[in-house]
Amino acid sequence: MAITGMGLVTPIGTGIEPVWQSLSTGRSGIGPITRFDARDYPTRIAGEVPDFDPELYMDRKTARHVARYGQFALAAARMAVEDSGLNPEAMGPDEVGVVVSSAAGGMDEIERADHMLLERGISRISPFMAPMMITDMAAGLIAIELHAGGPNYAVVSACASSSHALGDAAEVIRRGDAVAMIAGGAEAGITPLLVGAFCQMSALSRRNDEPTAASRPFDRHRDGFVMSEGAVVMVLENGEHARRRGAHIWGEILASGSSADMYHFTAPDPEGGGAARAMAVALRKAGLAPDQVGYINAHGTSTALGDIAETLAIRQVMGASANRVAVSSTKSMTGHLLGAAGAMEAAACVLAMNRKLLPPTINLDYPDPRCDLDYVPNRARPAEVQIALSNSFGFGGHNSCLVIGRGSS
């Protein structure tokens, strides 16, 4: 399925070129939390989107009523549609759909409303709270604003949400239910409650004095992931339709694979079995052998258990090719965008193949001997890659893998 447009709102930049500049130079977007007073939290760092002005992408009234994750989603969708050159308003109402996902949805709206209820009573709860907190509202908002009347929904599978959204969107087009889909994910979970909840799980890095060094996948001194926010949206399109209108094709989603760990609420299968099955299914559906894969963008969260499990999963699937394939975690720079992470990392794969440069895993200073693959440490690497995998694994044992091919124009 052709990828004809991309829009990115992230801690390392907004727009394709700023994001690529950061990815290619190994620049971290992690810093002190400014969204709320975190002085009493064990973790006081996150990947915030800097200098975001929603009124650049929507009118003031819409911006005032839309949750932050929805603002990010609409901004990224507008950028993606503009980049694609597609005009949904000129197409039939069923030809363009939307699958834009989130893990937590409008957490800021929920927490704000709860505060109002406790402090000032029910009459102070905004009438916009209910619709704007739900995880499908970003997709609904995009459909309204961009005139996309085709299939419209959100996929919720924790940190695999937007990877599943892209895979689902490609399938919608394959079965003929739309000509094009606006797909990806959005998250704005840097809120007192959600950060506090992850702190209580001891899931987050506490490297508060070195925020840019806090996300360090596959490094023996990793101590948890770093929460981030943002949105990444792509325009997927029927290949024939894209070529007929002369669209620039960034790449193709060739196949997707999904599985469940069947193991634990939060911990991954320690042998990587579920993740391996998702990768194997994706390759089988794409009709590809492991030795045809040139790059893997790892889920690579910087957690003690997750990085080892993923390493084992890659070894299971890649076999003799495991020592030759380049693997990197761009979460080392972006932090973990939760429900938007899969789309962010799929975009990183697309850009890496187009620019012939593999983004590094930064902060990999002391390799964990149990993580023994080629993780492109600390510096970007020139490479011509035709096929990439993008891995996304979520709490609950949700696994998704996308097979992405290099663009043809």
Catalytic pick among 336, 349, 371, 401: 336
Angle at which helix 304-318 crosses helix 273-286, to 10 degrees, equals 40
Catalytic pick among 164, 199, 299, 349: 299
What lies within 8 Å, CB to CB, of 119 at 6+ separation is none
Catalytic pick among 65, 115, 147, 159: 159
- The DSSP code for 372 is -
Catalytic status, residue 159: yes
What lies within 8 Å, CB to CB, of 115 at 6+ separation is none
Q: Among 273, 232, 230, 236, which residue's Cα sits nearest to residue 405?
A: 236
Q: Among 254, 246, 337, which residue's Cα sits nearest to residue 299?
A: 337
Tokens 């007073």 belong to residue: 37
Q: Among 26, 179, 166, 17, which residue's Cα sits nearest to residue 96?
A: 179
Tokens read off for 287: 């009709």
Residue 53: exposed, middle, or buried by beta-carbon count in 10 A (0-12, 13-18, 19+)? exposed
Catalytic status, residue 336: yes
Task: Note the Cα 23 to chain centre separation in Å.
Answer: 14
C-alpha 379/C-alpha 91 separation (Å) is: 44
Active site residues: 159, 299, 336
